[in-house]
Structures are given as structure tokens and as C-alpha cells.
Amino acid sequence: MALIEAAGLMKHYHSGESELAALAGIDLSVETGAFIVLAGRSGSGKTTLLNILGGLDQPDGGSLSVAGRDMLAMSNSERAAFRLKHLGFVFQAYNLIRVLTARENVAYVLQLQGMPKSRRFQVADQWLDEVDLAGYADRRPDQMSGGQQQRVAVARALATGPDLVLADEPTANLDSTTGEALINLMRHLNEEHGTTFLVASHDPMVIAAARTLIMLQDGRIESVTEQR
Amino acid sequence: MFDALSIYLRLGWRNLWLHPLRTGLTTAALAIGIAALTFLSAMNDGWMQQIKTNFALTVTGHIQIHARGFEQSRKLADRIDDPAPLLDIVRQVPEVRLITRRVRVSGLASSAGASGGALVYGVEPATEKRMSRLAGFVSQGGWLEPGDDRGVVLGDGLADSLEVGLGDKIVLMATTPQGDIASEVFRVRGLLHSGVMDVDDLTAVVTLDAAQRWLGLGKAVTDIVVRVKDFNAVASATQQIRQLLAARATGEPLETLSWIDIDPMAEQWAEFADAYTWIILAVVILVVLAEVLNTMLMSMHERVREFGLMGALGVQPTQVFVMVVWETVILVALGSGIGFLIGGGLSWWYGVKGIDLTRFAVAFSFMYMDPVVHPLLRTKSIVEILGAAVIGALVSGLYPAWKAARLQPAVALREL
């Protein structure tokens, strides 16, 4: 069974009298272990699709199942619990809770999952080590570069052992070297741990790193390309 | 449980100090407000304590027993003919510490050159000395000795108006229970000064035996005066005495009044003190609400994206709610704690040292108040003020917390 099964996903935004179709009927199936990049111009529906797949937003129509659960039948509270257990997120910016250190940011989601204090700091340190930030565990976000912050976000996204990591424009605020390092890290983790990644980006470097590239245009899937 | 709370405490504390100036100003404003209110409350409690003590212990006592209607009529016709059995009954109440008998009558005092109205007390000199402060207020001469049935102690104001001093003779006249006018000659043994106008300008104290003989009362008295272990025991002791006296098989109907029942002014002061306390508590809540709501709403609006991020990570809306409320409670606890320490410290310091308001002494003397005020920090007031602050914190934290908890992650994450 596919990790994600979506059919006919629709989403409209209203602005005064006018209506904009952000998603105009998306059918999507994602297998476990995939590394998929959703690409397309600004306004093509990438972020909207990612938000709906991650249970952060609700579609106006269609059906969606993630990890075997009907996402549209869940309450807000159930979706939050589902995200905690099954999903990891990396956003474009402001990814971290600014008053917590890198270690605490990673450990926070583990605490929410109920992991004991001694164990969660150990796991957090392991994941910070995995993303080459072992020496930054006690730094707060404002004491780290943008790239380091994104790597902490990746560590946090993976620390809970999610079925799926959703990343929305993760390299948008990074210079090309840092961006490349981040995307290589995500690819490495995908291959190493088998975690499924779904990345929304219009960054050519990210697009080039995709194993599956899905092009969106005007809220529809324009093409699906298997790259390597 | 504690583990879950600890993260909210940590987040709340650190979030507050992201903006040290704003948090500092809010804390300072809260601290000043709570300090001022704590001090005002302590002043009020100090005044009330003085009024209670001065009123009850200057003359009145904690509890008085009369023949029914005496407090209203003040006539000797309403008297207790045989007080001895009643004294035995009252002694059964565990809180009772002292009992004395009095005759109280309004009359006329005359000297060779002047005359004036007087409130005459016939007292048992030895027990009265421990019951009221009258003996302690003697500023010239001495207190009555037991058996000194020709002696009188006068308030210094009354002595002035009669133009008499120590050793001078005066005549006291009053109406007997039979309606006759009886007069008796007394010699001034002492002058007392209490600072309370009513006492200084009207009081004439003679022995109980002298009053009974002069007024033809036999062994009858008008007042049985009771002192209990402290003010907190008054209500309970009054109730017990009423029940015991009501259970008597024979004897005249009686009234048992606590000190606060005896003078409407004292009762009104107590009611005013209660109202004042409520005003203080309302102001505490308003101060906390105004200060904290503003700060927390600003903080919430600045952190919309952070709340969105937390929602995306899987933090439940209820957890966001609790976190924001905690943050508010921390802010209020900090401000209130500092404020309470300042206000409490000032209250304690001035409680020991006293605040000298002697230039208002005349005004204070009407109200049984000493011109030197000693603020009093009562546990009840402390609990009420800090409780009001916590209620204010919870109320002011609810709205921002509710707003934060309702944020949809996708919408919140779009905020810049």
C-alpha cells in the first residue's frame, strides 16, 4: 500500500468576489522511501499541496490517506497527534523555536512523544551529530547560521522516526553551497534511513536532486518524471 | 506531568525575556501596583485593628450582656437584678478570659462653678483594670481602689469643663429606676486621657458598690462585660453565650451583644473596611488585566508563526493554550512577587516603626484611632491580594491563550 494516496484534491482561496483554484484536482500516490520534489512556479500550488498532505490545511474536495489513515476524517486534535507520530516538517525559515537550544528543539518533539528526559537528549545529540552539528547543541537559533538552523530542523524532523518528511522550500533562504549541502544531507538520510521525503521547491539544485520530480502548474500536476 | 510542565515553564520564562525591556516595564508596573495595594491593604488592616482594639478595649469589652432593651433605652429600669448566676453561666464558655460587672447611667456632673453631662460607670476597680484601658489612661492621680466608694475618676475633658482637679468635690446626679433624681458627692481621685473625645469629655468612673448604693440598685447591674481570648473568638463566644443564656429556666430576658453590635460606627467601619478590601482586590485584578493582557497580546501577535510551527510539529491546541496561560502566570508571579515583597516589607517596617499622623490627631480621635498608625499584614489579606493577582493573570491569559490555541498551522505559518 502506498504511503500517500490522494485523489481529486481541490483547494480554492477566496478574495472578495474572486475565487482562485490553488489545487484543481490532484491525484498522487507516493511509495515509502521516495524522494520527491514538487516543482513549479510561484502560485502553482506546491505549498498548498504540501500543507494538505501534512494535515496542516484541509482540501475543499477529494480524498487523502497518509500511512493508511484518512486525513480528512480526523479532527484538528487527531491531525496534530498524527503529525507528531508520523510526519516531520522542514520549512523555508523560522523553523526553530527561538528560545530553545538546538538540542532542546530536537528534544522537544521527542518530549511531546513522551520519551523520558535522559533518553530524548541522547537521541537529540545523535541526530545533531548525524547532521554535523554536534558542537552546536547548546546554541540557540540566533547563534547559528541559516544553514545550521535548517540542519537542526532536519534533525528534528527525523528524530521522531517519521514515515514522511515534508520540506517546503528548505533552501530558499540559503546560499548555494549551504543549500547544496542541505539537499545532499536530505538525500543521504533518505538513502540511509529509508525515510520518505516530499520537498516543494523551485530551486534548480533541489530539482536536480529529485528521484521523482512532479511539476505543478495552476494547481494541477503537469508532469511526473523519474530522474534516477 | 512535571516533565510536561517544565518545558512550558522554560518556554514561558525564556519567551518573556526575549523582550527584556517590555517584560521589565510590565513587571515593574505590576510590582509597583501590587506593592502599593499591599501597603494600602496593610494600612487599612492596621487602622481597623486599632479601631477594634481601641473601641472594644477602651471601654466596651468584647461582649456585653444586658437586660433586653437596655442598649436602646439606656434606662436603669432595664437592668439585671441578680447577675451572679449569669456570671457562672458565662464562665462555662471556654473562650472567656475575664468577666466584670458595671452600672452604666447617663447623668449630670456638677462642681461649684459648672455642670455638664456625664456618662457614669460604676465598676469593679480590680477587674475593670484588666478589662478596659480606663485605668491605663489615668494621666493624673490614680485609679480607684476597691472600697473607695467616695472616689471618682474623670475624663480630663469633663474635668476641664467642670473646672475641677484632683481632690475637688463633684456631685453626680442621675435618675433612679423608680424615676427619682438621686445625687451623690464624690471626690476626684484621678483624671484620664484616652485621646477619644467621647471618653475624655463624658466619662466619670465610680466604684460599682457606690453606684448601686447611690442609685438604689441593690445588687443589680446594667452590664456584664466579657473579654474573650482574642477578636477572632468573639463571634463564636457570643453565640455560645446566647445559647447558654437562652437555655435558662428563669430570669429576665437578656441581650448579648458583641462589641461590633454595640456601636453602629464600629459596625460601619468594619463594613467600610470590607468594601475597601473589595475595592483593592478589584483594582489588583484590573491592574493585572490591563498590564498583562497588553503584554501577552503583543507577545502572541509576534509569535504567530512560532505557534504555527508548534502546531505543525504536533503540539495540541490545548498544550498551546496551557503554555500561554503559564507564561502569563509566570509574568504575574514575578511582578506580584516583587511587588508583594516591596509592599510587604514596607508594611512590616512601618508596622514596627509606625506612621506618625499626629497632625490629624483630632480627626482620628473621633474614630477611636491612634495618630500613629501601624500597618498590619494579615494572612487573609495576603492570600486575597495574591489570589486576586493570580485570578487576574488567569483571566488576562485566557484570551491570548485562546487565540493562540485556535490558530490554524497553515495560516499561522504564512505570517511573516
Could you report the predicted ipTM of this complex, rounded to two decimals?
0.89
Average pLDDT, integer, range B368-390: 82
- Helix or strand run (H / E) with residue B397: helix B379-406
Task: Measure in Å the smallest separation between the Cα of A80 and chain B Cα atoms.
Answer: 4
Q: Lowest-confidence range among A138-147, B27-36, B165-174, B286-295?
A: B286-295
Q: Helices B317-353 and B379-406 meet at what angle, rounded to 10?
A: 160
At B15 the pLDDT is 86
The b/e string for A186-202 (b: 16+ C-beta within 10 A; e otherwise) is: bbebbeeeebbbbbbbb
- Contact (CB, 8 A) for A145 and A177: no
What percent of chain B is modeled with pLDDT above 70?
A: 96
Residue A198, classed as helix, strand or coil, is strand
B408 to A89: CB separation less than 8 angstroms, yes or no: no
Task: Measure in Å the smallest separation between the Cα of A84 and chain B Cα atoms.
Answer: 4
Task: Measure in Å the smallest separation between the Cα of B17 and chain A Cα atoms.
Answer: 9
| Residue A163 forms contact with B (CB below 8 Å) | no
At B364 the pLDDT is 63
Query: Confidence class of residue A196 from pLDDT cuts 50, 70 and 90?
Result: very high
- Cβ-based neighbour number of residue B301 at 10 Å: 12
Average pLDDT, integer, range B197-217: 93
CA pair distance B170, B120, nearest whole angstrom? 13
CA pair distance B226, A174, nearest whole angstrom? 86
Nearest alpha carbon to residue A139 among A109, A84, A174, A99: A99
A100 to B306: CB separation less than 8 angstroms, yes or no: no
pTM beyond 0.80, yes or no? no
B11 to A84: CB separation less than 8 angstroms, yes or no: no
Does position B241 have pLDDT exceeding 80, yes or no?
yes
Q: Lowest-confidence range among A80-84, B6-10, B104-108, B172-176?
A: B6-10
Residue B347, classed as helix, strand or coil, is helix
Q: How distant, in Å, are the alpha carbons of B277, B282, B367, B368 from that of B268?
A: 14, 21, 11, 13
Average pLDDT, integer, range A51-68: 92
Among B18, B311, B413, select the one facing A91 at the smallest CB separation.
B413
Say which residue, B56 or A30, is predicted with more confidence. A30
Among B305, B316, B318, select the one facing A94 at the smallest CB separation.
B305
- Helix or strand run (H / E) with residue B254: strand B254-258
CA pair distance B401, B12, nearest whole angstrom? 12
Does position B321 have pLDDT exceeding 80, yes or no?
yes
Q: How distant, in Å, are the alpha carbons of B285, B317, B342, B345 from that of B376?
A: 22, 45, 14, 11
B122 phi, psi to nearest 5 deg = -100, 120
- Which of B413, B414, B416 has the most A C-beta neighbours within 10 Å, making it the best mutation to test the interface with A? B413
B311 to A100: CB separation less than 8 angstroms, yes or no: no
Average pLDDT, integer, range B67-84: 91
CA pair distance A66, A31, nearest whole angstrom? 11
At B120 the pLDDT is 96
- Contact (CB, 8 A) for B351 and B45: no
B311 to A77: CB separation less than 8 angstroms, yes or no: no
At A107 the pLDDT is 94
Place of cell 444586658: B66
Does position B141 have pLDDT exceeding 90, yes or no?
yes
At B225 the pLDDT is 96
A84 to B311: CB separation less than 8 angstroms, yes or no: no
Enumerate the β-bridge partners of residue B155.
B192
Does position B273 have pLDDT exceeding 80, yes or no?
no
Does position A120 have pLDDT exceeding 90, yes or no?
yes
Q: Lowest-confidence range among A41-50, B127-136, B360-369?
A: B360-369
Residue of chain B nearest A54, judged by CA positions: B312
| Widest distance between CA atoms in chain B | 99
B309 to A111: CB separation less than 8 angstroms, yes or no: no
Average pLDDT, integer, range B137-165: 94
> For the segment A146-161, what is each residue's pLDDT rounded down to a tens digit?
889 988 998 998 898 8
Q: Which three cell numbers stand for residue B297?
A: 497580546
- Helix or strand run (H / E) with residue B226: strand B223-228
CA pair distance B62, B55, nearest whole angstrom? 9
Instruction: For residue A106, list chain B residues with Cβ-Cβ distance below 8 A.
Output: none
Q: Which three cell numbers stand for residue B139?
A: 494621666
CA pair distance B134, A220, nearest whole angstrom? 99
Report the sign of the C-alpha dihedral through residues B36, B37, B42, B44, in that order. positive
Task: Mark which residues 55-84 of A lie under 8 Å from B by CB.
Answer: 56-57, 76-77, 80-84
Query: Confidence class of residue A228 from pLDDT cuts 50, 70 and 90?
Result: low
Across chain B, mean pLDDT equals 88
Task: Measure in Å the smallest separation between the Cα of B415 and chain A Cα atoms.
Answer: 11
Helices and strands (DSSP H and E) totals, chain B: 16, 12
Does position A63 have pLDDT exceeding 60, yes or no?
yes
Report the sign of the C-alpha dihedral through residues A97, A100, A102, A107, in that order. negative
Does position A79 have pLDDT exceeding 80, yes or no?
yes
Q: Which residues contact A102 (CB under 8 A, 6 or more apart)?
A: A96, A128, A133, A136, A137, A138, A139, A140, A141, A144, A148, A152, A155
At A199 the pLDDT is 94
At B16 the pLDDT is 85
Report the sign of the C-alpha dihedral through residues B340, B346, B347, B352, in that order. positive
| Residue A95 forms contact with B (CB below 8 Å) | yes
DSSP string covering B49-84 = HHHHHHHIIIII-SEEEEETTHHHH--TTS-BS--H
CA pair distance A196, B252, nearest whole angstrom? 97
| Residue B151 forms contact with A (CB below 8 Å) | no
